[in-house]
Amino acid sequence: MKLNFKLNLSLIAGAMLAVSCGGSGGGSSESETTSSTPAATPEPPKEVNLEEKYKDDPVFIRGVELMKQNDCPSCHMIERKIVGPSYADVAAKYESTEENVEMLAGRVIAGNVGEWGEIPMPAHPALSEDDAKDMVRYVLLLKK
C-alpha cells in the first residue's frame, strides 16, 4: 500500500509538472500559442522625406541646382524653418499655378516682407526671371 501511495503521488506530481510546463511530449496547446505570442500589429507606413520623394523629378533636380548656386539655403530648408519658412510650408500655402509661380518669382527677385513675418527676404536682382520661376516650381513641388 505504501508503494502504491508513493507511486500515485509521483504520478500526480509528474502530471502537474507536465501541465505547468506546457504538457508532455514537447507539444504546445492552442491557448499557449495565443497567450505567448502577441498579436501582430501592422507597422505604420514609413514617412518618406520630401528630398527622397522627389529626388528623380527634373523640376526637383533643377531647383536644387539653382538653390545651391544662390543664397537660399542660408534662410530656408526643405522641411524645417530657419530664418524664412521651409519650402514645404510655402508649398502648403500656395497652389502650384502659373499665376502663383509668376507672383512668387517676382517676390524672389524684388525681395519681400510681411508674408511670413517681419524678417525681410532680400532681393535677388541678378536672378533671371526663368531661373526664379524654376526655383519657385521646385518649392511648390515639395508638398507633403
What average pLDDT does this structure show over 101-107?
97
C-alpha to C-alpha distance for 88 and 141, rounded to whole angstroms: 8
Predicted confidence at residue 58, as pLDDT, reads 86
Report which of residues 63 and 29 the model is more confident about. Answer: 63
pLDDT band of residue 80 (cuts 50, 70, 90) is very high
| pLDDT at residue 123 is higher than 50 | yes
Q: pLDDT tens digit string along 33-55? A: 555 566 667 766 666 677 788 77
Domains of the chain: 50-141 (1.10.760.10)
pTM listed for this prediction: 0.64
Q: Give the residue ranges of the annotated binding site.
A: 72, 76, 121
| pLDDT at residue 103 is higher than 70 | yes
Where helices occur in the chain by DSSP H, the ranges are 2-20, 30-36, 50-54, 58-69, 87-93, 98-110, 129-141
| pLDDT at residue 20 is higher than 70 | no
Predicted confidence at residue 21, as pLDDT, reads 53
Predicted confidence at residue 90, as pLDDT, reads 96
Predicted confidence at residue 10, as pLDDT, reads 53
Hey, what's the cell of 60?
526637383
C-alpha to C-alpha distance for 49 and 46, rounded to whole angstroms: 9
Q: Identify the three-state secondary structure at position 135.
A: helix
Q: Give the residue ranges of the annotated binding site for heme c.
A: 72, 76, 121
Predicted confidence at residue 46, as pLDDT, reads 62
